[in-house]
Amino acid sequence: MAPKSIRWHLFQVLLVCVLPLGLFAAGLLYLHWQAQEEQRERSQIESARLLAAAVDNALDSTVQRLSIFARVWEANPADDAAIYAQARAALVGNPDWSNIAAVIVEPVLSAGGMLFPPTGYLKRLRELAHQNGALFIVDEAQTGFGRTGKWFAIEHHDAQPDILTLSKSVGNGYPVAAVITTAEIADEVVAKGLWNLSSHQSDPVSAAAVSAVIDIVREEGLIDKASESGNYFIAQLQELSLKMPAVARVRGQGLMIGFDLIVDDPERTDTVVNDFMFGCRRRGVHITYGYGGINFRIIPPLVISRSHSPRRVTQ
């Protein structure tokens, strides 16, 4: 048989036998890959479902606890001891501290309903954290730099944080954030090699912006102004509340002020609340409400004066 014929027969054998096997193997590989993709998709969907469930549970728990806190405040608006005892049970409970590295709090629950922790609450929370080997971290993104009549809202509570986080007001419109901690904690973090690097970390422009904000707050006495204007504004709202019972539970600290809008018909709450909010905006007053739906927040600029407050309150 000629070599050419042999090569032709070998080619036919390969074509008839090997190619189908190759196609079969490729098909198996494709089916395996497809099965893996489907499994990966199912895993992602399940992970997303579990995460969503966890978030829902966390939100439900948080809202429930905030509601308890609000009801305690409503029932005992002047009884700090009663608020503290019940709020501690509602918000702290009896957790397993073995896997808790830190307790992170806002000194004012702004979006959560403009709720102010009672006297002694945050101090006791700090003690509980330290007793159980956890750090006490305070988030002053909204409350820092004079908003509540002090440089930091935690100063109202005599509870020095181990770590303080800042943003928003610290740049007065410039996008910047900061983390402040003790030398002891910083040295331990560095010694353990826990580094956090980013492109704009320790940016000199950001530092200059923060430094300028500090100078302006000091030079213009904005912390004292926030306290004075806030007290006056709160008093005006409390007076209005006596005339209009729908404006209830006026509360505040400096220029971080809240009140509840009470609606007679619960089914109309959403409509009335939105009409009220947008009606205020049309008159030049910007207010928002928190998760409770009826908890309104008033957070004016620190430069606001008494001349603005009466006109806005009575409109």
Read off the pLDDT of residues 50-68 as tens digits, 9 standing for 90 and up: 555 555 555 455 445 545 4
Instruction: Look at 42-56, 101-115, 148-162, 294-308 and tell me which has the smallest mean pLDDT.
Output: 42-56
Enter the pTM of the model.
0.69
Residue-wise pLDDT tens digits, 179-217: 999 999 989 888 888 777 777 777 889 899 999 999 999
Best-predicted range by mean pLDDT (17-26, 75-84, 215-224, 303-312): 215-224
What pairing do the DSSP bridges indicate for beta strands 135-139 and 102-105? Answer: parallel
State both tokens at 36: 């893996």
CA distance 311 to 315: 6
Residue-wise pLDDT tens digits, 3-13: 555 555 555 55
**If you average pLDDT over residues 139-164, what whole number do you get?**
94
| CB of 125 closer than 8 Å to CB of 136 | yes
List 135's β-bridge partners, or say none: 102
Confidence of residue 306 (pLDDT cuts 50, 70, 90): confident
